[in-house]
Amino acid sequence: MRILAVGDVVGRPGRSALRTFLPGLREEFGISIAVVNCENAAGGLGITRSTAQELLDAGADVLTTGNHIWKHAADAKAFIPTCTNVLVPANLSQNDNPGPRLFRSGGVAVFQLQGRLFMNPLVRDPFEVADAMLREIQEKVILVDFHAEATSEKGALAHFLDRRVSGVFGTHTHVQTSDERVLPGGTGFISDLGMTGSWDGIIGVEVKEVERTFLTGFGGKTKPARGRGVLEGAVFEIGDDTGLCSSVTRIRRFA
C-alpha cells in the first residue's frame, strides 16, 4: 500500500493548496491513507473545528498536530476529544491535552510524538512513549509523525524504531529535507516533510513579520504569507503483509 504524509498546513494558503492537490495525488499514487499535519492550519497557528473539517473534506484521513495544538484552546478542546482522526501527540500529558493518541483504519495505525530538544524538555520521553504505544498496536503498518525541531532527534527515533514501524516522518520545521531513505530494518524515514502553504513567505509566514522578530527581538505575528501555494510531503510504499517500507518518494507541488 501507499501512504501519503503531508507537511504542516499553514493557514488559508495551505488549506487551499491541500484542496487543490490532494485529490490528484491520491489518484496518481493510489494512496490508501493520507496523513496531514494540521497544527498551523487555523490562521497560521493551531486548529479549529471548521479548519479540521475543511482538511478532512479535502481528502485527509487523519490529522496530526503538534506544539501549537491548543492555540485556539476553547474551540479545539471542545471538538478534538470527540474525534477519532485528529491526533494529540502521545507523549503530552493526558490531563491537560485531551484527545485520541492512536488512529486505526484498514490495517494501518498512526500515532504522533513531540520532540524535546530545542522544544519543551518537560514532555514525556518520546522514546519511552513510542515503546509503550507499540505494545498496544497489533497492525503491521504503523506510521509515526515526529513533531520535532532537531534532525538528530528525529533520526535517532527513526533508528530506534527501525523494523518496528513502517515509517517515521518529521514535521514542525516547515523545510523539506532531502534525506528520504529506507533504513536497514525496513523503516521509511524523512527528517521533515516540509510544509503546505505559501512558498513566497518564510516557513509559510509573511516575510516582514519574521524579519521584525529578528530585527527587534519581539515576536512578529504568525500571519500566513500570500503568494504561490505549495504542497510538500512524501509517499511511503509499504508491504501489506510485512509492514516494511520499500521506498520513500518526496512530493512537492506548486499551485
Query: Which of the residues 68, 72, 147, 172 is marked catalytic?
Result: 68
Contact call for residues 142 and 166 (beta carbons, < 8 A): yes
Type of residue at 149? E
Active-site residue flag, 68: yes
Q: Which residues of 187-212 are buried (b: 16+ CB within 10 A; e: fewer)?
A: bbbbbbbbbbbbbebebbbbeebbee
Which grid coordinates are listed for 252?
A: 512537492
Q: How far apart are CA 215 and CA 59, in angstroms?
A: 40
Which grid coordinates are listed for 211?
A: 524579519
Which grid coordinates are listed for 219?
A: 515576536
CA 254 to chain centre: 19
Where does 65-205 show beta strands of DSSP type E? 102-105, 108-114, 141-147, 167-171, 181-182, 188-190, 195-198
Active site residue ranges: 68
